[in-house]
């Protein structure tokens, strides 16, 4: 990876990793040399300052790049890596800040300025990934003195150069560069169109909010015309889909939600697919899916397709069983129902969990006020990994944003921002944004979590769904990966710079802790200070597996769609037809007419063909978690081993090796299969 992964959008959108000490990848015990600098955040009227900042930094980056390309006086590999590293640090700084501000800054002018800056630096990084001069320096470098990690890094750099087309004639390389630039621009527009397309629905009567929690009803009072206006922001949309009794309103809202990005993204997606296909053909791959999977654990689209079908088969029996239960429950509301609709599934699922498992989400959420959850996640991190999280006094880009430092033995080992509540123009999903990759002794890993959880103007009392608590911990897992892994010597292999189809695994494993009774009881308290009762936790755990098979199959629909769009010549793809066909093949729920999900499927840019990665990582996460199940969730020694073998090495080894180092064997499907096929436990 010559181009620092920070620059590739994939690393920026970790939307929504483990031990060996025989190499130089072990994190240094002391970070005394790393300075703690406040992140320079401009206020929301200073877009021009950002442009000037970008101009200046970009100018420096171009100069350093010219030096990198020039003749070298020797073929010393370490000196070359040092020079590249310095350049990566500068590029990372520009990309990290712009990449975040383009999606979260409150000022639209600032977002635009940051977006332009991000495009410029990305273009330079793309140019660097095809530089024959730099490739030549690496190819001729004397690597005889390099240790295992450095050698691995150099090999990866050379492979990445070849994959980028460095050996092709100049005209072809110029063309590739143009295509890559175009892809980057299209991708940004694709995401922006989703973020900024905040749609509204209007309800005529407060009766249509029946079923929703009181705080939601209070926060959505009728306007002067007597209308209740709901936006397609997650904090409005998901509770409504979970709880609103009004089936018609739910369907109308679902349709509006699945119109986000449409029609603007229709054409953009088509051009994005075409450009990526064109790139793959020039680089001599049959499709873009082949190109992008070559450096993943899964390696080929054929293996990805097999994986998707395999998982689908494993989930089928469980899904069929749960579907019957959902349909039976729906028939009690509508005796004529013959199938469960996509807009009905979550609502009915919640009803079943409440009635058959006595796990009422509305009873549950009283224990998850935002502030308590945040503190609970900090406490868990401190207890499990032996670090301390303290407030960090620094400038932020919005008053609701908070900043923290992570300390170990009194040394700061990383810093982060939490931007956790919705606002206009802000990125709508939940994601980890790597703002600065750590480099041992030189710079601290710095990241931001960008989420859309309840609260923001209420002093942190907003009540979260348990799923949101899970999401919080998941995203926090990426942040910890970036911090614990952010102490490599080289930025290119620092933090979460691991294979794309592995990067979700550590976070997915951490999700398990929000189902652990002692973890929950440490922070889940309601407004009166009452701790979440054991019996409720047990009921939540009993209900957890219900509908899991259905969800797994629906996820395989998304994975199949992401693969299909990139695994063929896109010129004749009919998006709606592709959705309909694949949804019918995989998902238990039918396609709903007049919806255009692909237009808001943001992963189609950042993840392209590899949406399967969530499930692939989950298989690995389940296997890794089985160690904690056996040894104890709060077993610090095991947590240390996990951190040292999986997180700390960052991208200094192949992911399969990291997992094997932790497990003492290659990973298997067993734990995942066991989890899916577990018997339905009914409370009654
Ligand atoms: Zn994730």
The pLDDT tens digits of the residues spanning 537-558 come to: 999 999 998 999 999 999 999 9
Is the pLDDT at 94 greater than 60? The verdict is: yes
- Rounded CA separation 324/316 (Å): 12
Length of the chain as a residue count: 684
548-566 and 613-631 helices cross at what angle (nearest 10)?
A: 140
Mean per-residue pLDDT of the chain? 90
Rounded mean pLDDT, 414-422: 96
Q: How many CB atoms lie within 10 A of CB 50?
A: 24
Indicate the burial class of 618 (C-beta count within 10 angstroms; 0-12, 13-18, 19 or more).
buried
607 CA to centre of ligand 1 in angstroms: 11
Q: How far is CA 393 from CA 39, 375, 480, 487, in A?
A: 10, 18, 20, 23
pLDDT of residue 7 exceeding 70, the answer is no
CA of residue 196 to ligand 1 center, whole Å: 22
Q: Average pLDDT, stretch 374-395? A: 97
Ligand 1 center to 77 CA (angstroms): 35
* Contact call for residues 418 and 374 (beta carbons, < 8 A): yes
- The answer to whether residues 188 and 602 touch, using CB atoms and an 8 Å cutoff, is no
Backbone phi and psi for residue 300, each to the nearest 5 degrees, phi listed first: -135, 155
Ligand 1 centroid – CA 478 distance (Å): 7
Residue 629 Cα to ligand 1 midpoint, Å, equals 22
**Ligand 1 centroid, distance to 44 Cα (angstroms):** 29
Tell me what pLDDT residue 9 has: 36
**Section 593-617 average pLDDT:** 95
Tokens of 481: 């990966």
From 26-30, 170-174, 460-464, the region with the lowest mean pLDDT: 26-30
Q: What is the mean pLDDT of residues 329-341?
A: 98
pLDDT computed for residue 536 by the predictor: 97
What spacing in Å lies between the alpha carbon of 512 and ligand 1's midpoint? 14
Predicted pLDDT at 44: 53
More confident residue, 31 or 675: 675
> In the predicted model, is pLDDT for residue 31 greater than 70?
no
| Distance of CA 603 from the midpoint of ligand 1 (Å) | 12
- The reported pLDDT for the residue numbered 195 is 86
* Structure confidence by residue, pLDDT tens digits, 225-274: 999 999 998 889 999 999 999 999 999 999 999 999 999 999 999 999 99
Read off the pLDDT of residues 60-73 as tens digits, 9 standing for 90 and up.
Answer: 999 999 999 999 99
Buried b (16+ CB within 10 A) or exposed e, 525-554: bbeeeeebeeebbbbbebbbbbbbbbbbbb
d(CA 5, CA 2): 8
Copy the structure tokens of residue 27.
């994190």
C-alpha of residue 472 to centroid of ligand 1, in Å:
10
CA of 14 to the centre of ligand 1 (A): 5
pLDDT band for position 12 (50/70/90)? very low
344-371: average pLDDT: 94
Question: Quick check: 530 and 519 in contact, CB under 8 A?
Answer: no
If you measure from the C-alpha of residue 15 to the centroid of ligand 1, how many angstroms do you get, rounded to a whole number? 5
3-state secondary structure of 439: strand
Return the pLDDT at 459: 77
Query: How large is the average pLDDT for residues 674-684?
Result: 59
What is the 8-class DSSP label of residue 512?
G
Q: What is the pLDDT of residue 171?
A: 96
pLDDT over 70 (residue 609)? yes
474 CA distance to ligand 1 middle (Å): 6
Q: How far apart are CA 521 and CA 540, in angstroms?
A: 13
What is the pLDDT at residue 24? Answer: 26
- Write out pLDDT tens, residues 177-221: 999 989 999 999 999 999 889 899 999 999 999 999 998 999 999
Number of C-beta neighbours around residue 364 at 10 A: 23
Beta strand 411-419 pairing with 388-391: unpaired
CB 452 within 8 A of CB 428: yes
Q: Among candidates 486, 478, 484, which has minimal Cα distance to 449?
A: 478
Instruction: Please give the distance, rounded to the nearest whole angstrom, from the Cα atom of residue 354 to the centre of ligand 1.
Output: 28
Distance 312 CA to ligand 1 centre (A): 21
> How remote is the C-alpha of 192 from its chain's centroid?
17
CA 506 to ligand 1 centroid distance, Å: 9
Gap from CA of 677 to ligand 1 centroid (Å):
24
Summarize the confidence of residues 370-375 as an average pLDDT. Answer: 96
In eight-state DSSP terms, residue 460 is T
> Which of 33-47, 634-648, 658-672 is the most confident on average?
634-648
For residue 13, is pLDDT > 90?
no
What per-residue confidence (pLDDT) applies to 30? Answer: 32
pLDDT per residue over 273-283, tens digit each? 999 999 999 99
End-to-end CA distance of the chain: 55
Q: What is the mean pLDDT of residues 478-502?
A: 95
Query: Quick one: pLDDT at residue 529?
Result: 96
Higher-pLDDT residue of 683 and 73 is 73
The pTM (predicted TM-score) of the whole model is: 0.85
How far does the centroid of ligand 1 lie from the alpha carbon of residue 147, in Å?
A: 32
Q: At residue 436, does pLDDT exceed 70?
A: yes
Of 3-12, 44-53, 120-129, where does mean pLDDT reach its minimum? 3-12
Q: Report the separation in Å between the CA atom of 101 and the middle of ligand 1, taken as the mean of its atom positions.
A: 20
Cα–ligand 1 centroid distance for 502 (angstroms): 10
Task: Give the residue among 301, 469, 461, 276 at the shortest CA–CA distance from 376.
Answer: 469
Are 282 and 175 in contact by the 8 Å Cβ rule? The answer is yes
Name the nearest CA neighbour of 182 among 307, 296, 278. 278
617 C-alpha to ligand 1 centroid (Å): 10
Q: Ligand 1 centre and the CA of 498: distance in Å? A: 13
Predicted confidence at residue 2, as pLDDT, reads 61
Task: Characterize 164-173 residue by residue with b for buried, 16 or more Cβ atoms within 10 angstroms of its Cβ, and e for exposed.
Answer: bbbebeeeeb
């Amino acid at each position: 990876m010559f181009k620092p992964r920070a620059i590739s959008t994939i690393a920026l959108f970790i939307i929504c990793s483990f031990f060996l000490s025989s190499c130089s990848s072990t994190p240094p015990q002391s970070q005394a040399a790393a300075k703690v600098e406040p992140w320079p955040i401009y206020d929301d009227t200073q877009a021009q300052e950002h442009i000037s900042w970008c101009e200046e930094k970009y100018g420096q980056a171009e100069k350093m790049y010219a030096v990198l390309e020039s003749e070298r006086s020797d073929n010393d590999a370490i000196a070359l890596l040092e020079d590249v590293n310095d350049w990566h640090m500068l590029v990372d700084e520009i990309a990290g800040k712009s990449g975040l501000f383009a999606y979260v800054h409150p000022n639209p002018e600032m977002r635009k300025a940051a977006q332009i800056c991000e495009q410029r630096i990305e273009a330079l990084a793309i140019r660097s990934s095809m530089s024959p001069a730099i490739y030549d320096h690496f190819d001729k470098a004397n690597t005889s003195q390099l240790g295992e990690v450095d050698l691995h890094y150099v090999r990866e750099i050379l492979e990445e150069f070849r994959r980028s087309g460095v050996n092709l004639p100049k005209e072809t390389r110029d063309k590739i560069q143009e295509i890559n630039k175009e892809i980057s621009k299209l991708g940004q527009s694709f995401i922006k169109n989703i973020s900024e397309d905040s749609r509204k629905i209007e309800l005529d009567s407060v009766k249509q909010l029946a079923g929703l929690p009181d705080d939601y009803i209070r926060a959505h009072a009728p306007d002067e015309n007597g209308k209740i206006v709901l936006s397609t922001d997650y904090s409005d949309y998901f509770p409504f889909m979970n709880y609103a009794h009004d089936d018609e309103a739910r369907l109308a809202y679902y349709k509006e939600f699945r119109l986000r990005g449409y029609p603007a993204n229709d054409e953009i997606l088509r051009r994005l697919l075409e450009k990526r296909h064109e790139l793959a053909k020039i680089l001599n791959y049959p499709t873009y899916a082949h190109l992008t999977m070559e450096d993943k654990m899964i390696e080929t689209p054929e293996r990805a397709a097999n994986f998707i079908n395999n998982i689908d088969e494993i989930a089928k029996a469980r899904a069929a069983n749960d579907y019957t239960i959902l349909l039976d429950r729906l028939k009690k509301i509508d005796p004529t129902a013959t199938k469960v609709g996509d807009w009905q599934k979550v609502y009915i699922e919640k009803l079943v969990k409440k009635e058959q498992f006595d796990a009422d989400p509305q009873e549950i959420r009283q224990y998850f006020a935002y502030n308590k959850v945040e503190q609970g996640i900090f406490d868990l991190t401190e207890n499990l990994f032996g670090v301390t999280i303290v407030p960090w006094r620094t400038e932020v880009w919005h008053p609701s944003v908070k900043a923290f430092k992570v300390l170990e033995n009194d040394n700061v080992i990383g810093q982060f921002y939490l931007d956790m509540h919705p606002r206009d123009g802000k990125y709508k999903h939940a994601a980890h944004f790597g703002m600065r990759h750590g480099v041992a002794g030189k710079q601290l890993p710095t990241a931001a979590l960008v989420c859309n959880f309840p609260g923001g103007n209420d002093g942190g009392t907003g009540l979260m769904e348990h799923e949101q608590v899970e999401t919080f911990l998941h995203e926090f897992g990426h942040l910890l990966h970036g911090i614990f892994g952010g102490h490599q010597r080289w930025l290119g292999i620092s933090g979460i710079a691991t294979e794309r189809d592995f990067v979700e695994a550590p976070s997915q494993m951490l999700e398990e802790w929000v189902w652990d009774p002692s973890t929950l009881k440490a922070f889940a308290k309601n407004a009166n200070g009452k701790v979440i009762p054991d019996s409720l936790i047990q009921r939540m755990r009993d209900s957890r597996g219900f509908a899991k098979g259905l969800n797994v199959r629906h996820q395989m629909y998304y994975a199949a769609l992401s693969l299909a769009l990139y695994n063929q010549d896109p010129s004749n793809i009919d998006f709606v037809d592709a959705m309909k066909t694949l949804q019918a093949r995989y998902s238990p729920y039918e396609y709903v007419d007049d919806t255009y999900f692909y237009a808001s499927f943001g992963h189609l840019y950042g993840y392209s063909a590899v949406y399967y990665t969530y499930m692939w990582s989950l298989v690995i996460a389940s296997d890794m978690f089985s160690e904690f199940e056996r040894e104890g969730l709060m077993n610090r020694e095991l947590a240390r081993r996990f951190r040292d073998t999986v997180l700390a090495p960052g991208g200094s080894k192949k992911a399969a090796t990291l997992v094997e180092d932790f497990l003492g064997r290659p990973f298997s499907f067993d734990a995942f299969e066991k989890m899916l096929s577990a018997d339905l436990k009914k409370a009654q």
